[in-house]
Structure 1
Amino acid sequence: MKNSLKVHAALFVVAFIYAANYSLSKDVMPDYMGPFGIVTLRIVGAALFFAVASRLAAPQDRLVGRADNVRAILCGIIGIGGNQLLFFSGLNYTTPINASLLQTIAPIVVVLASAVLLGEKITLTRVLGIGVGAAGAASVILSRAVGPHAGPNATLGNFFILANATAFGVYLVLVTPLMRKYHPFTVLARIFLVGAFVAVPFGWREALTTNYSSFPLYIWAEILYMIICLTILAYLLNNWALKYASPALLGVYIYLQPILAVIIAVSLGKDHFTLARAGQALLIFTGVWLVSRKPKVAPADPVPLEAVQD
């Protein structure tokens, strides 16, 4: 298989993994396990995997200097612990389609965070894109939730998902210099370790008191999916693809993720797709497209628009 086909295959698999998670997680939460318990299992499992992988793949690689270590700690707090606690808490309350649409605004947050933290220029086109995308996100948050998993706390769940997308956008800006300087496993091992210290105090009780003996086989399969595919495999494929994929190509797969999430959620009977949601999706997609357009004069963005991760 040619390298370009491998990149497309990797990005499609990542998009599909994330898209399926919106519906599969609803089977587990809250009847079998709470969101914080899931986050704890997921982060601790990934932390152990990347700790071993970093020792095998890059035994001599170490984070050097106070600045890089502080940056890694911030990445673990914001991008792993806080990000995932917010995501699963929000998904527990809102619907799969709403969550997938709101996740799509992460590239807009990347541009804003790059402007604040790195001094990147925001063009008029990007300002327009931020406004259009924000209007779409506000429409999703304030709309009345529909579907079998809509509940009284859907608006709160939407806010949590928006905060999750914001945290992930900031994380992308913070982690990129580390990924370019060190082996990916070295960085992932450190930030997942920090993330575990953030998540475990919130979720250890749920993880330990869950009645695992009551789990049917498909619930076990979905939990293993979240630990192995959603966390470990998706991170590995994403980091490999980022070495060869352009920001424009990554942007295409950002749009693909909610489309796949809608198809999966509707086909499994987890959610409904309406004309109002189609309009909200159009606003958000248009905003992300405008923000993702590269300025004509300015140099290329230092932060890739990575596919959305929980």
Structure 2
Amino acid sequence: MNSRSFAIFALLMVQVLYGLNYTFAKIVMNENYVKPFALTILRVGGAAILFWLISIWLPKEKVERKDYFKFFVAAVFGVAINMLFYIKGVELTTPIHASAIITINPVLILILSSIVLKEKITGLKVLGLGLALAGALALTLFGDSDRVGDNVLLGNTFIFINSIFYSIYIILIKQLTAKYHPFTFIKWLFLFGFFMVLPFGYNQLQEVEWQVFTPYVYFLILFVVVGATFGTYLLNPIALNKLKASTVGIFIYLQPVIAGLFAIIMDADSIDSLKIVAMVLIFSGVYLVSRKSNKVN
């Protein structure tokens, strides 16, 4: 398998891991095995340990003292706020809603890039922005769930906020990812992030009754920590290093498809006309935003 083929495989696996995670994480939380902020501590702490262990066998890279603060700020947006809102949102909404809203990340990144980096937005991209945001708002405001205890409006809002903070994080780390090896960046990101999320979920972590867990529950938690956190952050840099941004952008469409199919199979969600229309709007919008302009500036 050549490097490009492996990069495509890595990118596909990232979408599969994320897609399955919506249902697995929701089962863990909704069955009251682990509350959301405690699960966030397990995700961030477990991934931090694994990345620091891997770094033992990787070439050592010196970090400039001034950049530690930049790592800290990146961890605020990319780990702490981002993951706390994400996991709480997944608890309250459905896998299809959450995974569909997540796909607007390229749209939000474009908006922020135009504001912060002064990047130009074409008329076609403006249309894409409108379509994608309309779809996300439709899901957020009018979405529903068959599960008693879900609060779809609040959950979708949390997922939307998570996407905003993740997009800010992507803008913030552009210089850092160009300067440092991805694993150098990620290990510090998760280390700082762990101490940030610890106060939010410490009490919830103390309430976990590990003795009642079945092997299946342990598998679900390991999947969330090792697969959907460590695995995705491990595979993403491989894909991004070998593939064009436009190729990477296309794969984001797979995430809600995988999440939706798996959630339906697991009886964790259902499909309806609103979800279909909203996803078509979001997919169309993200496609227009992700298209390269043929105009030569």
Query: When the two structures are superposed, what TM-score results if normalisation uses the length of structure 2?
Result: 0.95
Q: Structure 1 123/189 Cα, relative in aligned 2: closer, same or farther at 3 Å?
A: same
Deviation digits for residues 83-102 of structure 1, max 9, x if unmatched? Answer: 11000101111111100111
- CA offsets, 1:167-225, max 9 Å, x none? 11111122232122111111011111121121100011111221011111111001011
Unaligned runs of 5+ in 1: 300-310
Counterpart code for 1:120: E
- Paired with 1:195 and 1:223, the residues of 2 have a C-alpha distance of 19
Aligned to 2:48: 47
Q: Map residues 1-310 of structure 1 onto 2, 5 A cutoff.
A: 1-30=1-30, 31-59=32-60, 61-66=61-66, 68-147=67-146, 149=147, 151=149, 153-297=151-295
> What is the identity, as a one-letter code, of the residue corresponding to 1:133?
A
- Superposed CA deviations along residues 136-155 of structure 1, whole A, max 9, x for unmatched, are 011000114133x3645221
1:112 positional shift: 1.3
Cα distance in structure 2, aligned partners of 1:71 and 1:146: 40
Residues 143 and 275 in structure 2, CA contact (< 8 A), matched pair in contact too: no
- Give the CA deviation at 1:74: 1.5
Across the two proteins, how many residue pairs are aligned to each other? Answer: 296
Q: What is the percent sequence identity of the aligned residues?
A: 34
RMSD value over aligned CA atoms? 1.5
Report if the CA contact (8 A) 1:140-1:280 is conserved. yes
Q: What SS does the corresponding residue of 1:239 show, helix, strand or coil?
A: helix
In structure 2, the residue corresponding to 1:243 is in which secondary structure?
Answer: helix
Letter paired with 1:93: L
Distance in 1 of aligned mates of 2:148 and 2:286: 26
- Counterpart residue type for residue 25 of structure 2: S
Structure 2: gaps of 5 or more residues: none
Secondary structure of the 1:242 match is helix
Q: Deviations over 1:262-304 (max 9, x none)?
A: 11011111100112211000000111111111233468xxxxx
Distance apart, 1:232 and its partner CA: 1.1
Report the alpha carbon displacement of residue 65 of structure 1 after superposing the two structures with TM. 5.0
Provide the C-alpha distance between the structure 1 equivalents of 2:178 and 2:143, rounded to a whole number of angstroms.
43
Range with greater deviation from structure 2 (121-130 or 12-21): 121-130
Residues of 2 paired with 1:284 and 1:211: CA distance?
Answer: 40
Distance across 2 between alignment mates of 1:292 and 1:157: 27
Alpha-carbon contact 2:91-2:150 (below 8 Å) kept:
no
Contact 1:58 1:186 in 2 (8 A): no
Going from structure 1 to structure 2, the CA distance change for 1:218 and 1:152 (only over 3 Å counts) comes to closer
> CA 1:228/1:133 → structure 2, altered by over 3 Å: closer, same or farther?
same
Kept in 2, the 8 Å contact 1:95–1:150? The answer is: no
